[in-house]
Chains A and B, each alone.
Chain A
Amino acid sequence: MDEALACAVLASAAGVGPATLTRLLATFGSGRATLALAAGSNARSRLVGVLGPDGGPVADALIAAVSEAESRAAAIGRAGVTVLLASDPEYPAALRGTRDPPPVLFVRGDRAVLSATNTLAIVGTRRPTETGRRIAGRIATAVATLDGVVVSGLAVGIDGAAHAAAVTAGGRTIAVLGGGHDELYPRAHRRLAAEIAEHGGAVVSETPPWVRPAAWSFPQRNRIISGLSAATIVVEAGHGSGALITARAALQQGRDVFVVPGPLDTPTSAGCLALLREAPDAVRVVAGVPELLVDLGLVSDGPRSRPDSGRAALAEAGPVEREVGTLVAAGVGTVDALVAATELPVATVLAAITMLETRGLVVDALGRYRPAGGLLGTPRPARRPRHAPSGRAPPVPW
């Protein structure tokens, strides 16, 4: 058994977290050495010696895990994931630099994407508004088109919108799971997860594949989302939203945090505004997608050289599709509204939507139509203020 699998088996024992595993490896030299020791005689007292007087149950769990090491290693192999150790050179440097990096990562997809430097976490509530989804999608599309990597938690809502938009735009994206790969949660996103892994992205977990996610494991994984990312953007978050945990982890890790501001009386903005109030010096505001790209240092300031991609995406379409597509891109999302705006027959509008859908420009969500792909393109950025307010962090050095 190679070292990576040995460490994975150790990490699979109940009660063995990042700190314990690091201590074991430091004491016994390697995962394989620890494995051999735990399988030998007198294992329990020696393990308790390392783990401390309260370490009895953990020692027992370790011995149990080691006794079925082969089957657990086989299960990891079956799950189609690779094991990435903190000591591995491929382990993402940004994550290793945080306070408690996971000692083992289980990765499906391309490991190389984890070490990308132009990473951006987009997180938010699982119950967003239409506007929130659209903004998450637009930011993700813009980042993906500029070869950035979108990091998020694969949850429904903002997370899913960000991942999906990045995949649709042909970009790479990283999804960090709260449980193991075999227990993928939410199940509704199994297909999205597969697409992420197929399109040069990665799905990452710090627990073995068979571990079920628990309520506490999601806040735990949020530190990985922020740790992998140069900056974290909170699109919509209510009071107590998990996205706020990610944002706070990012602040502790010394990363940039942006929030999308919202109205005072909207529950989904409460968390964003609370963050701004909590850390007015550290948290920055997204003043628009083009402005964000400038703040992130993804594009240089000044007039954009890129053409409006929404218009470009519709260039090949017929006149009806162009009219309908332009309206959908502007946020006109129902057939009723499209019929009212175009005064075309329903049949024509419906056929046009299908045309746009097959071109990947519109997605259908329960009778609402949302722009996708090229239609999520950003309008021209507003001029940047000549004198940036003092006390602001410089652009992220990508």
Chain B
Amino acid sequence: MLATVFSATLSGLEGRVVRVEVDVAPGLPGFTIVGLPDAALQEARERVRGAIRNSGFEYPPRRITVNLAPADVPKQGASLDLPIAVGVLLGSEQVHGSAGPWALLGELSLGGEIRPAPGILPMVAALAAAGIRRLVVPEAAAGEARLVPDVAALAAPSLRAATDVLRGRRVRGRSAPPSVDLAPLPAAGEGESRSARLAAVEAASVVPDVPDLGEVRGQHEARRALEIALAGGHGLLLWGPPGSGKTLLARTIPTLLPPLDDQEALAATIVASVAGAAPSGLVRRRPFRAPHHTTSYAGMVGGGPRLAPGEVTLADGGVLFLDELPEFGRDVLEALRQPLEEGSVTVVRVGRAATFPARFQLVAAMNPCPCGWHGSDESRCVCPEPVPRRYLARVSGPLRDRIDLWVMMPRVAAGEIVGPVGSERSVAVAARVAAARRRQAGRQGRLNGRLRGNALRRFCRLDPASSSRAVTLAELDAQTARGTERLLRVARTIADLAGSDAVDASHLDEAARFRSPASRLDRAIAV
């Protein structure tokens, strides 16, 4: 007998509705899956067989054919285990009735438990968009599923529970069997406002395990640069010898960023869901990703057999921190150029392509040379003369052009470390960052770090005195046009932090401190 069940699969960050057709026919016992299944899905046969047998059902000794429609969409992952198993049970008439209005999502264990699968949120959203609003989802993914409005998602712990749900629906009016541990979730959008609902779940997404800015001693210049960078969404490079506190400073970033707004939060939650993070609610905290420098190209931009999002997408809306920047592979660094410029990245695989969002802010740290001591007082550097220059050159010019703020971090004097004076705490800085971001949003609808060309000139208007000062500063090390634009962008953010509508000469002067050292390396490093 033929049974049809709805489910979904992932394509990039989007869900696709899949019709699972199971035909249980007489003939030699067998199990065939057609419809472009991937390797994980081919193995569904074994899981489904075990799960059925161990849930107290009988595995039918018949010819079983599973068709996944539409036939031309590649299906991936194990989230189709559950609908296949239910289809087999319906087709062999061990469970009666049609699962017509229901969609099922979940991976099965051999024991029949339902396991979470990555990407439940976008799959539920796709099903809802197709008009399928009653779902059985894994328990662990219930939080994600309920973020989609107007959807009734039931969290089922096992295959047996899932079949009971289908039966319960069929015999309307009867109470569900008491043995079933169902966790009904309220349909969203009834009575309570959307943002109130989001606020309720956001508390769960806060995971505070990061140092406070108050723990960073000294480094006033770098702290200031970080504040400006986060306030304006500028690329930032921290440069200094080992032990100067670059990594510690960067790790405080999550405490300084304002939470995501509703739209950004939904996008971030979808990314987290596809990445398999199984968010328990809406992700409100801005992402902070710190991939190791051995990260591969696919790990950075996305790809792999599953066409999974990479670090640049996981950092969407937040910060991508690259420690030891020159140690990253050259192709990995070059691949950052497209997302830095366009805010998205396109990954192409044979027969498939996906565009992932990648509006991240780049924060990087590096030593001045491979041994790390170049330019420090102690003359401990063992690198021959041209090495520090070559080390910087590993970061290509186009990438360096996209870093607005450069800050040198000398080692902190012992007095600063043992001294009693506490540094400013994250809360105060975060408040200034949030206020400056609000000013920018109100004025131009985006962060200063994304201002270019005419928009920059429009929102960073200079009076004659500041204009001539900007020219002086631009000529200081014969800045290129890009260098001058960087100066203006940073000055705009400094003015925003000061609550000033006009950009004046002192803002420009401070911005000039953070200009790229590449053009003055002759003087700065070598002399």
Task: Give chain B nearest CB distance to A166 CB in angstroms.
Answer: 12
Residues B472 and A358 in contact, CB atoms below 8 Å apart: yes
CA separation between A129 and B377, bound complex, in Å?
Answer: 6
Within 8 A of A (CB), among B190-243: 218-221, 223-224, 239-240
Whether the Cβ atoms of A350 and B385 lie closer than 8 Å is no
Q: Which residue of B lies closest to A161 (CB)?
A: B527
Instruction: Answer yes or no: B512 CB below 8 A from chain A CBs.
Output: yes
If A164-B527, A188-B521, A188-B525 touch, does A367 touch B506 (CB 8 Å cutoff)? no
In residues 240-266 of chain B, which contact A (Cβ within 8 Å)?
240
Are A367 and B407 also in contact (CB < 8 A) when A129-B377, A129-B379, A351-B509 are? Answer: yes
In chain A, what residue has the closest Cβ to B368?
A: A366
Task: Identify which of B77-85, B103-111, B409-417 touches chain A.
Answer: B409-417
Is A384 at the interface (CB under 8 A from chain B)?
Answer: no
Q: Does residue A23 face the partner (Cβ distance < 8 Å to B)?
A: no
CB–CB B410/A351 < 8 A: no
Q: Interface code A313-353, partner B: CB below 8 Å = 1, 0 otherwise?
A: 00000000000000000000011110110000011111111
Q: Which of A187, A190, A346 has the most CB atoms of chain B within a 10 A radius of its CB?
A: A346
Residue of B whose beta carbon sits closest to that of A126:
B385
Asked if B476 is at the interface of the complex by the 8 Å CB criterion, the answer is yes
Query: How far does the alpha carbon of A140 sit from the alpha carbon of B90 in the complex, in Å?
Result: 93
- Docked-complex contact B375 and A365, CB < 8 angstroms: yes
| Cβ contacts B500-519/A at 8 Å (1 or 0 each) | 00000011011011000100
Question: Chain A residues with Cβ under 8 A from B386's Cβ?
Answer: 186-188
Report yes or no: A363 in contact with B523, Cβ–Cβ below 8 A: yes
B395 within 8 A of A: no
Say whether B413 contacts A336, CB under 8 Å: yes
Verify if A364 is at the interface (C-beta below 8 Å from B): yes
B169 at the interface (CB under 8 A from A): no
Query: Contact mask A131-170 → B, CB, 8 Å, 1/0?
Result: 0010000000000000000000000100011001000000
Chain B residue nearest to A131 in the complex (CB): B377
Q: Which residue of A lies closest to B377 (CB)?
A: A130
**Is A128 close to B, CB under 8 A?**
yes
Query: Do B410 and A334 touch (CB < 8 A)?
Result: yes
A365 partner residues in chain B, CB cutoff 8 A = 375, 523-525, 527
> Are A334 and B413 CB-contacts (below 8 A) given A347-B510, A351-B506?
yes
Give CA–CA (A267, B374) in the complex, Å. Answer: 17
Q: What residue of chain B has the Cβ atom nearest to residue A185's Cβ?
A: B385
Chain A residues with CB under 8 A of B507: 351
With both beta carbons as reference points, the residue of chain B lying nearest to A368 in the complex is identified as B410
A339 pairs with B527, CB closer than 8 A: no
Chain B contacts of A339 at CB under 8 A? 220
Give complex CA distance A160, B526 in Å.
7
Contact A127 B381 (CB under 8 A): yes
- For A128, the chain B residues whose CB sits under 8 A away are 379
Most buried by A among B240, B374, B513: B513
Given A156-B527, A188-B522, A365-B375, the answer on whether A335 and B239 have CB atoms closer than 8 Å is: no
Q: Does B389 contact A (CB under 8 A)?
A: yes
B457 within 8 A of A: no
B residues 391-426 with Cβ under 8 Å of A?
Answer: 407-410, 412-413, 416
Most buried by B among A127, A191, A335: A335
Is B96 at the interface (CB under 8 A from chain A)? Answer: no
* A336 touching B412, Cβ below 8 Å: yes
Chain B residues near A34: list those with CB within 8 A.
none
Q: Is the CB of A358 within 8 A of B413?
A: no
Among B385, B510, B527, the one with the most A-chain Cβ atoms within 10 Å of its Cβ is B527
B220 touches A336 (CB 8 A): yes
Q: Is A239 an interface position by the 8 A CB rule?
A: no
Given A334-B413, A336-B412: A366 and B239 interface contact (C-beta under 8 Å): yes
Q: What A residues does B525 contact at CB under 8 A?
A: 188, 365-366
What per-residue 1/0 map shows which CB atoms of B365-378 lie under 8 Å from chain A? 00010000011010
Q: Check B523 against A354 for contact (C-beta < 8 Å).
A: no
Q: Contact flags (1/0) for A165-202 with B, using CB distance below 8 Å? A: 00000000000000000000011111110000000000
Considering only CB atoms, which chain A residue lies closest to B419 in the complex?
Answer: A340
How many A-B pairs have beta carbons closer than 8 Å: the answer is 120
Question: Which residues A259-273 have CB closer than 8 A to chain B?
Answer: 267-268
The yes or no answer to A301 lying at the interface (CB within 8 A) is no
Give the residues in chain B near A160, CB-CB below 8 Å: 526-527
Which interface residue of A129, A130, A367 has the most chain B CB atoms within 10 A? Answer: A367
A334-B413, A335-B221, A366-B375 given as contacts; is B522 within 8 A of A354 (CB)?
A: no
* B13 within 8 Å of A (CB atoms): no
Q: Closest CB of chain B to A130's CB: distance in Å?
A: 5
Interface members, chain B 465-500 (any A CB < 8 Å): 472-473, 476, 494, 498
Residue contact B385 to A188, C-beta cutoff 8 Å:
yes
Which A105-138 residues sit within 8 Å CB-CB of chain B? 126-130, 133
Quote the shortest CB–CB distance from A314 to chain B (angstroms): 17
Q: Which of B218, B385, B494, B512 contacts A156 (CB 8 A)?
A: B385
Residue numbers in B under 8 Å from A363 (CB-CB): 523-524, 527
User: Which of B219, B498, B506 interacts with A336 by CB under 8 Å?
Assistant: B219
Name the contact of A337 in the complex, choosing from B223, B413, B498, B521 (C-beta under 8 A): B413
Question: How far does the Cβ of B476 sit from chain A's closest Cβ, in whole Å?
Answer: 6
Given contacts A337-B413, A351-B506, contact A133 B220 (CB under 8 A): no
> Is the CB of A355 closer than 8 A to any CB of chain B?
yes
Does A291 touch B at the CB level, under 8 Å?
no
Q: Could you mark each residue 74-109 of chain A with 1 if its beta carbon is under 8 Å from any beta carbon of chain B, else 0?
A: 000000000000000000000000000000000000
- Chain A residues within an 8 Å CB radius of B412: 336
State whether the Cβ of B63 lies closer than 8 Å to any Cβ in chain A.
Answer: no
A contact residues around B416 at 8 Å (CB)? 336, 340
Given contacts A268-B379, A346-B220, A347-B494, contact A364 B524 (CB under 8 A): yes
Chain B residue contacts of A337, Cβ below 8 A: 413
> How many Å from the CB of A144 to the closest CB on chain B?
15
Query: Cβ of B410 and Cβ of A188 under 8 Å apart?
Result: no
Q: Is B520 an interface residue (CB 8 A)?
A: yes
Interface centre among B221, B413, B416 (most CB of A within 10 A): B221
Which residues does chain B contribute within 8 Å of A366, judged by CB atoms? 239-240, 368, 374-375, 408, 410, 517, 524-525
What 4 A-B pairs come out closest when comparing CB atoms?
A367-B408, A351-B509, A188-B526, A366-B375
**Which residues of B are in contact with A by a Cβ distance under 8 Å?**
218-221, 223-224, 239-240, 368, 374-375, 377, 379, 381, 385-386, 389, 407-410, 412-413, 416, 472-473, 476, 494, 498, 506-507, 509-510, 512-513, 517, 520-527
Contact surface of A with B, Cβ cutoff 8 Å = 126-130, 133, 156, 160-161, 164, 186-192, 267-268, 334-337, 339-340, 346-355, 357-358, 363-368
Given A127-B381, A268-B379, A336-B220: 12 more A-B contacts, CB < 8 Å: A126-B385, A186-B385, A188-B385, A188-B386, A188-B389, A336-B221, A336-B410, A350-B510, A354-B510, A355-B509, A357-B476, A366-B375
